[in-house]
Chains A and B, each alone.
Chain A
Amino acid sequence: DQQVKQNSPSLSVQEGRISILNCDYTNSMFDYFLWYKKYPAEGPTFLISISSIKDKNEDGRFTVFLNKSAKHLSLHIVPSQPGDSAVYFCAASAIQGAQKLVFGQGTRLTINP
C-alpha cells in the first residue's frame, strides 16, 4: 500500500511564478513530514520539514503547509527559479523509533524561463 502519494508526476511552471507541489498520506502515525529535492545522479537533498504540531513552516522561498485533518501537505516555492528544476519527494516519518522515511513517488518540477 502506498502510504505517501504524490499524484502529479510532473509540473511545469513559469520562472518567477509560484510552484505548488502536493502530497497526501494515509498513516495517522506519521508525525513528521519532509520534502527532499533530487537532481539526476545525486542522492536526495533535504529541503524543508514540518512537525505535526504545526501547520506551516517557512524557509526563505520555501513554505510547507500541513493539513492534518485532510492528511495533506504541500510545498510552495515562490518565486520559482530555473535552479529549482528537479524531482521533489515528499516523505513522512514517525519521530520515535527507527525514523525511517516513507517516500512518495516524486514530482518532476520544470521551471521555464
Chain B
Amino acid sequence: DTGVSQDPRHKITKRGQNVTFRCDPISEHNRLYWYRQTLGQGPEFLTYFQNEAQLEKSRLLSDRFSAERPKGSFSTLEIQRTEQGDSAMYLCASSFSLRVTGYTFGSGTRLTVV
C-alpha cells in the first residue's frame, strides 16, 4: 500500500466555480477524515466517515461543501460556488478506529481561488 493518495495536488479555479477533490485512503482503514489548513495555521477538522457513514461535520463545513464516501472506499469533497476564502490546503487522512496513532495523512490538495 502506498499510503493515502489525494488528487489533484493543485487546483486553481475562478471564484464561483465548483471543484471536487478525491482521496484514496489506506485500504484497511475504516475511518476517513478531511481537514483544511490555511496559511500559518494548523489543520482544522472538517468531517469524518466511518466506513460509508458520515458521522460528524464541523461548523466550518458550510452548505457549499459536501463530502461522500460511497461503498466505504475513496472519498470526494466538493465545494460549490467557490469563494476566495476557500483557498487552502485540503488534507485527507485515514485510520483504523481505536488507534489514534494510526492516522495517516495524504499530501493534500492545494486550492487557489482567483
In the bound complex, do residue B43 and residue A100 qualify as a contact, i.e. CB atoms below 8 Å apart? no
Q: How far is the CA of A44 from the CA of B106 in the complex (A)?
A: 8
Q: Decide if B79 is an interface residue (CB 8 Å cutoff).
A: no
Q: Decide if A89 is an interface residue (CB 8 Å cutoff).
A: yes
How many chain B residues touch A (Cβ–Cβ < 8 Å)?
25
User: In the complex, which of the residues A32, A49, A101 has the most CB atoms of chain B within 10 Å of its own CB atom?
Assistant: A101
Question: Nearest CB to that of A91 among chain B residues?
Answer: B42
Q: Decide if B51 is an interface residue (CB 8 Å cutoff).
A: no
Residues of B within 8 A of A (CB): 4, 31, 33, 35, 40-45, 48, 55-56, 91, 93, 95, 97, 100-101, 103-108
New A-B pairs, 4, CB < 8 Å, besides A44-B43, A45-B105, A100-B33: A4-B42, A43-B4, A49-B101, A89-B43
| 30 A-B contacts (beta carbon < 8 Å) | A4-B42, A6-B42, A9-B40, A32-B100, A34-B103, A36-B105, A42-B108, A43-B4, A43-B93, A43-B107, A43-B108, A44-B43, A46-B101, A46-B104, A49-B100, A89-B42, A91-B42, A95-B100, A98-B56, A99-B95, A100-B33, A101-B43, A101-B45, A101-B103, A102-B45, A103-B42, A105-B40, A105-B42, A106-B40, A106-B41
